[in-house]
Amino acid sequence: MLQDKWIEFAVELQSLAQAGLAYGKDVYDLERYTRIREIAAEMIACKSDIPLEKVKNLFCNETGYQTPKVDTRAAVFKEGKILLVHEKNGTWSLPGGWCDVNQSVAENTVKETLEEAGLNVKPVRMIAVQDRNKHNDPPYAYGIVKVFILCEVISGAFTENIETTEIRYFGKEEIPENLAGAEAGRPDPPLPGREAELGHGALCSGAAAGSVYSRRSGRLSALFMEVRLCWY
């Protein structure tokens, strides 16, 4: 718990410093904001085995007002079963990933599902929005908003690709235990010092009606989805 609070303080300091550097005018204030940002990076480095310069490159690499990243996920059902894709690292996840800057949430969901599952889908409606760090362990050093879109399959067939090895539909009681624990977006790491706990794909977790649980690193992770609208 203390470790998480330490990280939480560092994240907030970095965010405030980043905004100050973006909007501050006074040269002395800018100098102070720069130092605050450095302190935040040093706090992260002290709690991990990652060199300070690497932490700065990952943690202090943006400009302007800091906002959460957006991750989109497709919820595709067939005969009461949900579609999961099998990642190259051996875990299962909902098809999806980081939302590209030139894509809407719906467009990105369609693109990611085609890339990972080989399926052309039609977005039907948004069924859940989630703050990743309020539902998943371990917390990340940046915010992530996860958007889940109910989709219908139009056409297509799976072909093994650089990201996934197979797709499969799972019933409510059939959800595999080796669910991906990290977020979408392959390049970005979790909080320093905890990378080994995670895969690179993402299923969202949290408490919801009909949640399905998997054990990971001695903890329970819930497969969050508004399944009461979709399970039959």
pLDDT digits 0-9 by tens, 66-122? 888 899 999 999 988 999 999 998 989 999 999 998 999 999 999 999 999 999 999
Whether pLDDT at 202 is above 80: no
Question: Does residue 187 sit within a domain?
Answer: yes
Nearest to 73 by CA among 2, 142, 121: 121
Q: Is residue 124 located within the same domain as residue 49?
A: no
CB 209 within 8 A of CB 228: yes
Question: Does residue 39 sit within a domain?
Answer: yes
Structural domain of 51: 2-59
CB 89 within 8 A of CB 199: yes
Q: Please tell me the total count of domains within the chain.
A: 2
- The neighbouring-strand residues paired with 164 are 87
Question: Which pLDDT belongs to residue 221?
Answer: 33
Question: Which pLDDT belongs to residue 20?
Answer: 93
Q: Is residue 13 located within the same domain as residue 124?
A: no
Helices (H) and strands (E) in the chain, counts: 4, 9
Cα(121)–Cα(223) distance, integer angstroms: 22
Question: Which pLDDT belongs to residue 54?
Answer: 85
Q: Is residue 145 located within the same domain as residue 202?
A: yes
Q: Is residue 76 located within the same domain as residue 127?
A: yes
Q: Half-sphere exposure of 157 toward its Cβ, with a 13 Å CA cutoff?
A: 0
Omega before residue 51 within 30° of 0, cis? no
Quickly list H helices, 47-137: 52-59, 105-117
Residue ranges of E strands in the chain: 69-78, 81-87, 92-93, 96-98, 119-131, 144-156, 164-170, 212-216, 219-223
Q: Is residue 107 located within the same domain as residue 207?
A: yes
pTM score, whole prediction = 0.67
Structure-model confidence comparison of residues 159 and 205, the more confident one: 159
CB contact set of 1 (below 8 Å; sequence gap of 6+) = none
